Structure 1
Amino acid sequence: MTKKKTGVLLINLGTPDSPKTGDVRRYLTEFLNDPRVIDINAVGRTLLVNGVIVPFRAPKSAKIYKELWDLWGGESPLLTYGIKLRDRLREFYKGDGIDVEFAMRYKNPSLDEVLGKMEKVGYERIVILPLFPQYASSSTGSAVEKAMNIIRKWWVIPELKIINHFYDNPGYIKAFVEKGRQYNIDEYDHVLFSYHGLPERQIEKVHPNLKCSDCTCPKQFNPGQESCYRNQCYQTTRLIAQGLGLDSSQYTVAFQSRLGSTPWLTPYSDQVVEELAKAGKKKVLAFSAAFIADCLETSIEIGDEYQEIFEENGGEKVQLVESLNDSELWIETVKSLVDNQLK
């Protein structure tokens, strides 16, 4: 029996081409004009993004991206580790008739460019893996939608396999547990699990008859809401905490990176950090398990900005647990996720 000619497409969110203001402006323009990211009417989104957010935010964001680039040797870690992951998987599959590609939802390497290359190869089967552990319409949903909009125009559409989450995958959980074990948790007063935030309205679109304020997912996993980002974040946390031997009194789940004045998922990470310091906590260990590679939200927002907030309010150290990046267990986990789709 002949093997199907197979392509694997890894997708991450995106990064500016450089920390220069012009490149950051172009990145933010593409990112924030996505209707799955800012889900308001098209006219309002265009005016808000292009007339208010991007002009004012791009110069400030460029300075922060410059800090990130400098911290990581003049490169974007999100791009660096995406390429490393792609190359390691290529080594694993060498000789098996399986090709691996990596693309960004926004900017480069673009999905248009990478999928254009894949179309010419003529794969019989493509496995699409958005590198977001927890499903959200603004991340996984957007990446899959963009890929499908490109592929649907092909004359020959191959068999498609889509992995839309892996929040509870044992390898993914174990990889973060191993990262956490590099630190002596007994030396820390508290553990923070900080996930990227989302507007509550986006969560409630998943379960329109249930408000976030009435949901019990902070206390237990709700099987009927398996596609709910918040539900998945809390379950990821419980599994990592279990692997580290933590009880619920030793950690807090919070959400970072909010934008605008509408209600976002609470509690807010920056406020939790401030409250922990005011409560007399001196050392906090912080996980950011929504990100499989370090980026602005981990290295700068948690590593620098939250450290500053913590110190200003009497704390001493917010220790960021680095993301999975190119750890061997993480790379093996990705291969296992793909292999499960090829059986």
Structure 2
Amino acid sequence: SVHWTVPALRFVHSFYDHAGFIVPLAERLRSSLAHFESESGGGADHVLFSFHSVPERQILRSDDLGVCSLGACCDAIRPPNPNCYRAHCFATARALAGRLALEPARWSVSFQSRLGRTPWLRPYTDHVLAELPERGVRRLVIVSPSFVADCLETLEELNMRGRESFLSAGGEHFHYVPCLNSDPTWVQGLPDILGLPTAPS
């Protein structure tokens, strides 16, 4: 008979506001903003934090207290919403914007990749990309903090289709910030997120 050796499993509840995640992503975004400015001859008008979406019903089902409004209740992490994905997304965006000293008018949150006819988290990224030029945004930087590694959803949906949507709506410059991938600071910080002892340097 075959005997399998199953390693111990370690589950991470969440790391949406963990310094090991926020710090390297903020530095990557800071570097991308500087690169964008040097390459395009001017700074970004707006930073869009685009998160992977989920159906609204999924968020409502996780609300044990029945207080979720899919609105201002996500403006902070409070006792009623510690497990709310939408609240986590806004907390991540606030943490990144805070580290970069972005003024509130210079950044926003949207949600990508919905399927079917059921309502998903809003605002929808594809709608926002088409609307931003109407609000005077010509130079856009977009980042997807939901993913720590680039994939079809980031490379094709955001960097290709999203770029086309923004530029065809009147935008002039579009810059996609790559995910952390194998960023050294991110990799070095993973043991802390996982609750593992760090190797001596």
TM class by shorter chain equals 0.7 to 0.9
* Aligned pairs (5 A) from 1:124-203: 126-127=8-9, 161-182=10-31, 183-184=33-34, 187-203=43-59
Aligned residues: 189
Distance 1:122 1:305 in 2: 42
Query: What is the CA-CA distance between 1:191 and the residue it aligns to?
Result: 0.5
Counterparts of 1:285 and 1:266 in 2: how far apart (Å)? 19
CA-to-aligned-CA distance 1:253-279 (integer Å, 9 cap, x gap) = 000001011111111111111111122
Match of 1:290 among 146, 171, 182: 146
Over the residues paired in the alignment, what is the CA RMSD in angstroms? 2.1
1:311 aligns with 2:197: no
SS at match of 1:188: coil
Distance in 1, Cα, partners of 2:52 & 2:153: 8
Gaps of 5+ in 2: none
> How does the TM-score come out when normalised to structure 1?
0.52
- The alignment-based identity, stated in percent, is 35
Deviation track 1:302-325 (CA, whole Å, cap 9, x = no partner) reads 111111111111101221111000
Distance (Å, rounded) in 1 between the aligned partners of 2:143 and 2:191 = 23
Name the CA distance, whole Å, in 2 between partners of 1:227 and 1:292: 20
Q: RCO (CA 8 Å, sep 6+): is it higher in 1 or 2?
A: 2
Q: Is 2:120 the partner of 1:264?
A: yes
Q: Which residue of 2 aligns with 1:39?
A: none
1:216 matched to which residue of 2? 73
Inter-partner Cα distance in structure 1 for 2:180 and 2:92: 15
Whether the 8 Å contact between 1:200 and 1:212 is mirrored in structure 2 is: no
Secondary structure of 1:252 counterpart: strand
Larger helix fraction of residues: 1
In the superposition, the TM-score normalised over structure 2's length comes to 0.86
Q: Distance in 2 between matches of 1:176 and 1:166?
A: 12
Contact in 2 for aligned 1:280/1:314 (Cα 8 Å) = no
Larger radius of gyration: 1
Matched, 1:120 2:4: yes
Report if aligned partners of 1:197, 1:265 keep a CA contact under 8 Å in 2: yes
The Cα shift of 1:214 comes to 5.0
Segments of structure 1 that go 5 or more residues without pairing to the other structure are: 1-116, 128-160
Equivalent residue, structure 2, for 1:325: 181
Q: Secondary structure at the match of 1:194?
A: strand
In the alignment, the residues of structure 1 paired with residue 15 and residue 45 of structure 2 have an alpha-carbon distance, to the nearest angstrom, of: 29
Aligned match for 1:246, one of 102, 107, 119? 102
